[in-house]
Chains A and B, each alone.
Chain A
Amino acid sequence: MVRYVIRRLISIIPTILGVTIVVFMFLRLIPGDPAVAMLGEHATEENVARIREQFGLNRPVFLDREALKQGDLKGFFNTQYLLYLGRLLRGDLGNSIHRRIPVAETLAQRFPATMELAFFSMFIAIIIGVPVGIISAARRNSVLDSTTMVGSLVGVSMPIFWLGIMLIMLFAVTLQWLPAGGRLDSGIELKTITNFHLIDSLITLNFAAFVNALQHIILPTIALATIPMAVIARMTRSSMLDVMQEDYVRTAHAKGVAERSVLYKHALKNAFLPIITIIGLQFGLLLAGAVLTETIFSWPGIGKWVYDSILSRDYPIVQGGTLLIAFIFVLINLLVDISYGYLDPRIHYD
């Protein structure tokens, strides 16, 4: 087990390294450069050249073969990518080209917003999806079962940006129950500690802010949680059905163990394996979907930010943001894999 975990942790390194290479390559392949994007209609040749110079954008991307030709080994490695990697190892994500402020700073502010939304959505998806799946499995082929299954299929098929728009239309515009966007009303003061508004407002006992933050997060959460909720419900159901056909469950039935007990004690624990897998996978998709949700709900997270930065060619932001999302994704996959060993004693890692 220890060896397995260590090996998996090490195996993250090449993946992350690969991510940096791909991001780097892609960004430089996309035509148009940050200098032009930044200077807009006004751009003059000299200024474009100057900005390219200042941000080292005129350096070769991966390796400088011209420098090598001259015997300049240091120059050979003195390239955009390797310099970036060097800074990355020191924990420096670089400065935004357009705003000239450290990417890490903004990331620290925006990343919690995305994570708060993602965690909250996943939490809702699990606490609704799993019970619904269990009940459906327990009452297989009942009206309830078929309704939830059809409902969940519709949920899986939902374009989330459209769902978000519809939610805004209904709850924010027509009924005016909930705010249409943002994380917090402008008048509300909240001391930021973790930058998770829900947590901050609780630990500072600022209930007005808590209620306000909760109101803001409800609609984006519904939009974002719909698909994972539906997928989790379906997975739970089918996994439970599978397990309930296993011999030991039948034996338990035969022995006259109470239905509830069979369901929760025997079946559920063993059905959890695929459910965990799907939760891990869905979390990744959830982070990906954040681009759209954040756009629609004016949520100041990283999805929208990275998207905008692709358009403005703000390389360091795209690099930093993507790297972080990829890292979280890989980490969650790792957690899922490790949790197998915990949930299923039959699996041994060696």
Chain B
Amino acid sequence: MKGKSLFILLAAITILSMVLAACGGGAATTEAPPVEQPTEEAAPPVEEPAPTEEPAPTEAPPPTEAPQASVFIFGRGGDSVSLDPAIVTDGESFRVTGQILESLYTFAPGTTNPIPNLAEECMPNESATEWTCTLRQGVKFHDGTDFNADAVIFNFERWRFTDNPYHFPEQVFEYYEAMFGGFDDASIITSVEKLDEYTVKFTLSAPLAPFLANLAMDIFAISSPAAIEKYGADYGTPAAGAVGTGPFVFKEWVEGDHISVTANEEWWGGRAKVDEIIWRVIADESARYLALKAGDIDGLEQATVEDLADAENNPDLYILRKDQPTTAYLAFNYKIQEFQDPKVREAIAHAINKQGIMENFFGENADLATTLIPSSMWGYNDTIEDWTYDPELSKQLLTEAGFPDGLSEVTIAEDIVDADNNVLFKAGDKIPLRLYYLPISRFYFPTPKEVGEAMAADLANAGINVEMTTEGDWATYLAARREGRLAGLYQLGWGGDNGDPDNFTGYFFGGGAEPIQREGWYQNPTLAELLNQALVTPGQENRDPMYKEAEQILHDDIARIWLFHTRVPLIFSAKVQGYQPQMVDADNYQDVTVTP
């Protein structure tokens, strides 16, 4: 039957095409594979014939008595975006680049104090507009090229100039712009000059108080110019990895699964104690903790209070906490008429049982927040007295504000429009009082949905009846927040980048001379003026009181309800020692040891 043989042929072709599609880009499939040595063996090049009746390879002792490589496997919730730190903003990327690449300065262990790193020191001139940096000598990039003034200038010019051939158009050098005022002529750094092979001079258009802290950020780590020239826009991708001067050398990146790095034998700070680090992606918290208990991984980040309690009672595990400056808050949209009344805001502030929420959901992983700036940072104002949890007082305040029966419906004061100027809520519209919860868990706001439920229950007890909602997913939520159209109370938070208080209060309220769309149309010209002054005032001792005053203003205004400062918990197997959590930037791994 002719039809049949044809069918077989066609079926074979189709299956083949599927298999090919499946291997897409993989190596040739039909050729005999190169004879692979069973793992780990240091491989003496024996021409191995077809493996006949040889003793099982697992039983054969390795030919060389090399000590077993020590590997540290860390479980995390998500994959890195790119290993080129200049173009990313996510902690999961910095976690890895922080081991491969180094910046001119770094933060002293466990603090936000910048200390010299690749630079031996940086000295300002009188007016703090010129910084002369002496670079560390004899440092080599992983590809063998020298670290010197040219490398520093190459990197800074790549970040700054949009017409630089390595400032690839498809890449966004977001942080450079945020930290140094802009690109090209808008950049606060107006020039980086080479004084000699190991000295560079930065010229600034104006004094920049957090200059050294900025230099210390993982974002501004120095990459090998040769590597960037070699890989072009692929630098930082799984295929190319990253090339720096750090204690670890990039090995491989299997996207969505793991990244591994090996110890840099020639690191100027002395070889790392562990031979290899593997970061494995295990998205689910529960699964991650189980993997740790099962010994699949040696350490992890982020866990529920229940798991932490379990870990505490487990002699094989111990807990560290990353004191990252973060703040979670509940914001008001000031285009809602009721929220313009401080009494209503105060009523809401008194209605939420922050203590209860914190104990139930975070335990030791968080501190109650009384201000935007966390207590671990300078500029923190410890004299502010938080709103008490007092539902009765809330009810009373609501009555005074004209809502004796509680609040469940609010009025839009001004039109709320979307990006295309479509009116979403018209002035005068009555809408249910909404509580927007974050659609995903963020490091500064774990379990937002359940915390939202608890808040809703607290508010209901004080006669404030909220309707919980969220705005689509994370992307939509952020967009809606940016456009100031989260019409109600909304959850959000912030994680600091460089330990400078301007990175907190200034970022949020520095533009408050006009209603700030992104910040729920909050407006406070006095505060804005103060913050903008603080940014350009030199000297921490002069700036500190200004930020304290700003915090007081925010509190008196009940601008927002500060909820908590979370700490990211880390759990390790007892085999692991020497892990150094950092407040900002990536944790340090070079002193980690793993006893088998």
Contacts and interface: CB of A to CB of B under 8 A. Distances in A.
Interface of A: 1-2, 5, 30-34, 36-44, 46-47, 50-51, 54-55, 95, 98-101, 104-112, 115, 168, 172-173, 176, 179-183, 185-189, 191-196, 203-209, 295-296, 298, 300, 304-305, 311-313, 324, 327-328, 331, 334-335, 338-339, 341-342, 345
Contacts of B21: 111, 324, 327-328
B417 to A, nearest CB: 14
B11 interface: yes
A171 B332 CA distance: 47
B24 A168 contact: no
A173 B39 contact: no
B3 A341 contact: yes
A191 B291 CA distance: 24
Interface stretch (B470-478, B546-554, B577-585): B470-478
Contacts of A313: 475
A305 B256 contact: yes
30 contacts: A1-B2, A1-B6, A33-B479, A39-B172, A41-B494, A43-B482, A44-B174, A47-B177, A54-B169, A100-B170, A101-B237, A101-B238, A108-B23, A173-B290, A176-B294, A180-B290, A181-B282, A181-B284, A186-B280, A189-B39, A191-B36, A193-B33, A195-B22, A209-B39, A298-B283, A298-B284, A300-B256, A311-B475, A341-B3, A342-B7
A194 B39 contact: no
A112 B257 contact: no
B23 A195 contact: yes
Nearest to A345: B1
Contacts of A182: 257, 280, 282, 296
Contact of A32 (B57, B237, B479): B479
Contacts of B6: 1-2, 5
Nearest to B50: A205
B18 interface: yes
Contact of A180 (B38, B174, B287, B480): B287
Contacts of A40: 89-90, 478
A37 B83 CA distance: 19
Given A36-B479, A191-B36, A204-B36, 5 more contacts: A36-B482, A105-B25, A108-B26, A328-B18, A339-B11
8 cross-chain pairs, A with B, having the tightest CB-CB distances, nearest first: A37-B475, A32-B476, A32-B475, A108-B24, A204-B36, A1-B3, A108-B25, A300-B256
Contacts of B281: 298, 300
B249 interface: no
Contacts of B66: none
B355 to A, nearest CB: 26
B75 to A, nearest CB: 10
Contacts of B81: 98-99
A111 B475 contact: no
Contacts of A189: 39-40
B89 A32 contact: no
Nearest to A5: B10
B255 A109 contact: yes
A38 B254 CA distance: 21
Contact of A300 (B1, B239, B257, B477): B257
A338 B38 contact: no
B14 interface: yes
A331 B257 contact: no
B316 to A, nearest CB: 14
A295 to B, nearest CB: 7
A206 B39 contact: yes
**For chain B, which range describes its interface: under 10, 10 to 19, 20 to 34, or 35 or more residues?**
35 or more
A345 B2 CA distance: 12
Contacts of A295: 283-284
B4 A342 contact: yes
B336 interface: no
Nearest to A51: B172
Interface in B304-361: none
Contacts of B257: 182-183, 300
A107 B475 contact: no
A32 B18 CA distance: 35
B569 to A, nearest CB: 20
Contacts of B29: 193-194
A140 to B, nearest CB: 33
B256 A42 contact: no
A345 B7 CA distance: 13
B51 interface: yes
Contacts of B534: none
B535 interface: no
A257 to B, nearest CB: 25
Interface string B462-475: 00000000001111
Interface string B239-279: 10000000000000011111010000000000000000010
A193 B19 CA distance: 12
Contact of B478 (A43, A179, A191): A43
A47 B182 CA distance: 11
Contact of A311 (B254, B474, B482, B492): B474
A280 B35 CA distance: 37
B372 to A, nearest CB: 14
Nearest to A42: B89
Contacts of A54: 169-170, 172
A100 B472 contact: no
B178 interface: yes
Contacts of A206: 36, 38-39
Contacts of B2: 1
Contacts of B40: 189
A42 B174 contact: yes
Contacts of A193: 23, 26-27, 29, 33
A110 B237 CA distance: 16
A172 B482 CA distance: 43
> Which residue among A168, A182, A185 has the maximum number of chain B CB atoms within 10 Å of its CB?
A182
Contacts of A50: 172
A46 B177 CA distance: 10
B383 interface: no
B73 interface: yes
Contacts of A298: 281-284, 287
B171 interface: yes
A99 B237 contact: yes
A123 B540 CA distance: 68
A206 B56 CA distance: 11
A296 B29 CA distance: 31
Contacts of A188: 39
Contacts of B170: 54-55, 95, 100
B99 interface: no
B542 interface: no
A100 B237 contact: yes
> Which residue among A106, A300, A324 has the maximum number of chain B CB atoms within 10 Å of its CB?
A300
Contacts of B171: 100
A213 to B, nearest CB: 13
A208 B283 contact: no
Contacts of A31: 472, 476, 479
B82 interface: yes
Nearest to A192: B26
A37 B81 CA distance: 13
B281 to A, nearest CB: 7
Nearest to B476: A32
Nearest to A99: B81
B208 interface: no
Given A115-B22, A208-B39, A186 B296 contact: yes
Nearest to A180: B290
